[in-house]
Amino acid sequence: MSTPEPVFDPKRTALLVMDFQQGIVGQLPGTGPLLERVRQAIADVREHGGTIGYVRVAFTEEDWAAIPASAMFAAVGQNRLMHHEDPSTAIHEAVAPEPGDIVVRKTRVGAMLTTDLDQQLRDRGIDTLVLAGLSTSGVVLSTVIEAADRDYRLYVLSDGTDDRDEQTRDFLLTKVFPRRAQVIETGTLRALLGP
């Protein structure tokens, strides 16, 4: 006999808005509709008592110095890119945080490895994550793997992600993520949250 799927509980749910930063959003064409969908998802989760978490990638001078030459972000360190105080690393104003939201700064691709995000979520009793992010093949992929290994119940917003490579994005959403997460649209999230 199979175990029934637990009921979606908004108060134990966090929507993670990942890498929606000025400089990253600006590199992708036609992001207006994407930003509006994510903005609406944020409003829906807030309305139902859920948590909003923001993840941004940015570096201090010490972070740059600590990046090994073999790391994915080696060029970031060598060229002193994405300084944590640079306006390009700020969260885009269309989806900006509000007081009480979780905001973490990371120095690797995934949302959890170099942050205290997992602890902050656990402290709030969060066991379900809904992921939106730029890019699908970067922060979303890494965070799906990290969060699944930490036993979170996972949802990926298919219309809350984007990637420079559309084929890779589609492959991840249809073939890879469904092994670890439920892939849904923002309209489905609204329905799961309830009336």
Is position 189 within any domain?
yes
Say what the pLDDT of residue 190 is: 95
CB contact at 8 A, 133 and 21: no
Is position 28 within any domain?
yes
pLDDT tens, per residue, the chain with 195 residues: 454 455 789 999 999 999 999 999 988 888 999 999 999 999 999 999 999 999 999 989 898 888 888 877 777 777 777 879 889 999 999 999 999 999 999 999 999 999 999 999 999 999 999 999 999 999 999 999 999 999 999 999 999 999 999 999 999 999 999 999 999 999 999 999 988
Is position 155 within any domain?
yes
Angstrom distance (rounded) from CA 1 to CA 113 = 36
Expressed as residue numbers, the domain containing 107 is: 10-193
CATH of residue 188: 3.40.50.850
Is position 1 within any domain?
no
- Domain total for the chain? 1
Is position 148 within any domain?
yes
The residue count of the chain comes to 195
pTM of the model: 0.93
Helix axes 32-47, 186-193, angle to 10 degrees: 10
3-state secondary structure of 103: strand
